[in-house]
Amino acid sequence: MTDTVAEAAEAGGGDTAALTDGIHLVVDALKLNRVETIYGVVGIPITDLARLAQASGIRYIGFRHESDAAHAAAAAGFLTQKAGICLTVSAPGFLNGLVGLANATTNCFPMVQISGSSERHIVDLQRGDYEEMDQLAVARQLCKAAYRVSRAEDIGRGIARAMRTAVSGRPGGVYLDIPAAVLGEIIDKDKGETSLWEIVDPAPKQIPDAVAVDRAIELLAGAQRPLIVLGKGAAYARADDAIRQFVESTGIPYIPMSMAKGLLPDDHPQSAATARSLALKQADVVLLVGARLNWLLGHGDAPQWSPDAKFIQVDIAANEMDSNQPIAAPLVGDIGSVMDALVERTKPGQIAAPTGWREALGEKSAANVAKMAKRLEAAKTAQPMTFLGALQAIRDVIVERPDVYLVNEGANALDLARNTIPMSVPRHRLDSGTWGVMGIGMGYAIAAAVETGQPVIAIEGDSAFGFSGMEAEVIARYDLPVITMVLNNSGVYRGDDASPSGDPAPTYLSARHDILMQAFGGTGYQATTPDQVGEMLRKALAEGKPALIDCIIDPADGTESGNIKHLNPKGLNAKQ
C-alpha cells in the first residue's frame, strides 16, 4: 500500500480494505484498459506510481530522459494501435516529454503522456511552488487534446477520455495532468472502484460514402498515368490485404513512403520507388492512402508534380482534404473500410494502368537501379569505408532476417538507408517521420523490442545517436535485443569541415561509441570495413544481446543536410 493509504488506515484503526488513493486508481484504471507497459522517468510525484504499476504486473521501462520515453510510447502506439503510455514528473520532465508528445501528434501515433504536477492552489496564484507550471495550458497547443484530473474520483474518467481520444479518428498524442494532491488523495475504495471503466470500441470504423467511392473509381478508370502513394497511415491501419488486392487487381504503380515500406515487398513489380521523380512528375491521377501532401511530397506543387494532376485522398479526417491541393475525390473514412469499399465496388477490368505508363516507369527504374549498382559496387572496396559500404553490408543481413525491426535516423544515414535497404514485412521500419526529427532512435528501438519481442537494428548517424545515446544503458539494463549501428563519420553531415577558429568546426564530432556500450554492460564493436560490419552484425544478432557497432566512415563522405539541402537559407554566407 502507499504511504498515504497506510497513514490514513492507521489513523482510522487499521482498516485499509475500505480505502484507496489516487495512485492506486491510476494503476487500476490502466490495468482495466489493458495497458501492459509504461515508459517513463520517475521522480516527485510519480515514483510510487511506477513502483505500484510494476508490482501490479504492468511492465515499467525506466529511461534516462523523458523525451526518449515519450518517443518510445509513441512508437508503441504505432506498433500496437493502442495508446502508448508515458509517465513523467512535473515542469522540466513534463516539458521534455512534450517533445515526443508533439512528434507523436504530428506523426498520428496514439500515445498518452501522464504527468504529475504541483499544487493547483499555489500554481494558479503563481506563489512559487516546487516545479511550478501551468502544464495543461502549455500542453494544449502541442497535442491532440489535454485534460486535467482535479479529484481522485475522476481518475478513471480522465484515463478513459485520454486513451479514447488518442486512438479515435486521426490518432495522436494526449496529455493527462494529475496533480500530486490528486495522486495522494484518499477516498472510499468502493467509490474508487465504481469510478473506473474500460473503454469500448475506442476507434470504430468510419465507412466511406458510396458516392465518394464511385467518384474515385471513375477518376482512376479514366487515368492515363495513375499512381498510388502509400503513407505510414496505411501501415498503421493494418489493411494490408485490401491494399495489396487493390494494387494488384488494378495494376497501378505505387510509391511507398518510408514507413510504409514493406506493405508490399520493395521488389514488387508495381513498385515505382526507384523511379519516384518521374512517377510524381508525370502522374495524372494520384491516390493518396494514409499519406498527406506535406513537405515530404512537395505539397503537391509543380514542378515536382504535374500541375494538372488530380488527387484522390483517403483520410479519416475530413479537414485534411484541400490542405495543399484541390482534392478531386475525397474519401473520408478509416483506411481499412475505404480500401475494402474500393475493392468491392471496382468492377473487374474497370481500372487498369496503361502499358506505356508502366513501361516508362520500368525503364527509368532499371536505369536508376543500374546507376545505384555502380555506386554500391565501388563502395564495397572504398577505404576509408563509406556510408554505402556499411549500409549494403547491413542490407545483406536484413535480407536474411526479415523478422528484424529497423529503426533509422540521421541525415545521410537516413536518406541512404531508405534507398539501400529493402523491406519485405509491414511495420518493420520506423524512422524520423513527418517532422524529420533527430532523437527518436533509441526510444523507438526500445519500444520495438519491448512490444514485439523481436530483434531490432537501429541505424544511426553519429550526430543523431547523440540525442538519445544514454538510452543504450536502458537497452543493456533490460537486456533488450537491440543492435545499434552508428555510422560514424565524425560529424554532423560530415566530419571534415574546416574550423574558422581555434575551436572545433560547428559540425565536428568525436566519440568511441563502442566503448560507451561496453561501459553500460553491452557488447561494443568497432568496424572499419563492410566485411567487418556484416560479420559483427551477424554475430550480434545470433547472440540476441544488447550491442553497438561503431562503423567508422570516411569523414569526407556525406552531403550537407542529406537530401534536403534545398531547405537551407540562401544567404551571403551560405555553405557552397
The stretch 398-413 carries a mean pLDDT of: 96
The separation between CA 448 and the C-alpha centre of its own chain, rounded to angstroms, equals 10
CB atoms within 10 A of CB 226: 26
Number of H helices, E strands in the chain: 23, 19
Q: What type of residue sits at position 172?
A: G
Strand 145-148 and strand 84-88: the pairing is unpaired
Query: Which residues are CB-neighbours of 437 under 8 A, at least 6 positions away?
Result: 103
Instruction: Tell me: pLDDT of 2 over 80.
Output: no
Q: What is the pLDDT, as a whole number, of residue 496? A: 92
Q: Is 551 helix (H, G, I), strand (E, B) or coil?
A: strand
Which pLDDT band, with edges at 50, 70 and 90, does 14 fall under? Answer: low
The Cα–Cα gap between 548 and 441 comes to 13
Instruction: Tell me: pLDDT of 12 over 60.
Output: no
Contact 380, 389 (CB under 8 A): yes
pLDDT in tens, 260-272: 999 999 999 999 9
Q: How many residues does the chain have?
A: 576
Q: What type of residue sits at position 151?
A: R
Q: What is the pLDDT, as a whole number, of residue 15? A: 65
- Any idea of the CA torsion for 27, 28, 29, 32, to the nearest 10 degrees? 120
Which pLDDT band, with edges at 50, 70 and 90, does 338 fall under? Answer: very high
Residue whose cell numbers read 520517475: 42
Instruction: Tell me: pLDDT of 7 over 90.
Output: no
What per-residue string of b and e applies to 371-407 under the rule 16 or more CB within 10 Å gives b? eeeeeeeebeeeeebbbbbbbbbbbebbeeeeebbbb
Contact 278, 255 (CB under 8 A): no
- Minimum mean pLDDT range among 136-150, 176-190, 474-488, 556-570: 556-570
C-alpha cell of residue 330: 475525397
Q: CA nearest 225: which of 354, 359, 363? A: 354
Which pLDDT band, with edges at 50, 70 and 90, does 8 fall under? Answer: low
The Cα–Cα gap between 486 and 418 comes to 16
For the chain, percent of residues with pLDDT exceeding 70? 97
Q: CA nearest 212: which of 114, 353, 314? A: 314
C-alpha cell of residue 502: 581555434
Alpha-carbon separation of residue 315 from 37, 221, 318, 320, 562 (angstroms): 29, 21, 7, 7, 30
Instruction: Tell me: pLDDT of 227 over 70.
Output: yes
Burial class (CB in 10 A: 0-12, 13-18, 19+), 242: buried
Instruction: Tell me: pLDDT of 430 over 90.
Output: yes
Q: Is 84 helix (H, G, I), strand (E, B) or coil?
A: strand
Order of strands, edge to edge, in the sheet holding 327-332? Answer: 254-256, 226-230, 285-289, 310-315, 327-332
Contact 439, 464 (CB under 8 A): yes
pLDDT in tens, 382-394: 999 999 999 999 9
Question: pTM value?
Answer: 0.95
The Cα–Cα gap between 276 and 251 comes to 17
Strand 327-332 and strand 84-88: the pairing is unpaired
Q: What DSSP line would sit under 384-420, residue for residue?
A: S--HHHHHHHHHHHHHH-TTSEEEEESSHHHHHHHHH
Q: What angle do CA 520, 526, 528 make, to 5 degrees?
A: 165
- Residue 327's DSSP bridge partners are 311
The Cα–Cα gap between 566 and 402 comes to 34
Which pLDDT band, with edges at 50, 70 and 90, does 119 fall under? Answer: confident
Alpha helices in 333-489 (DSSP H): 335-345, 355-381, 387-400, 412-420, 441-452, 462-468, 472-477
What per-residue string of b and e applies to 196-215 under the rule 16 or more CB within 10 Å gives b? beebeebbeebebeeebbeb
Burial class (CB in 10 A: 0-12, 13-18, 19+), 496: middle
Say how many Å lie between the first and final Cα of the chain, rounded: 64
φ, ψ (nearest 5 deg) of residue 128:
90, 55
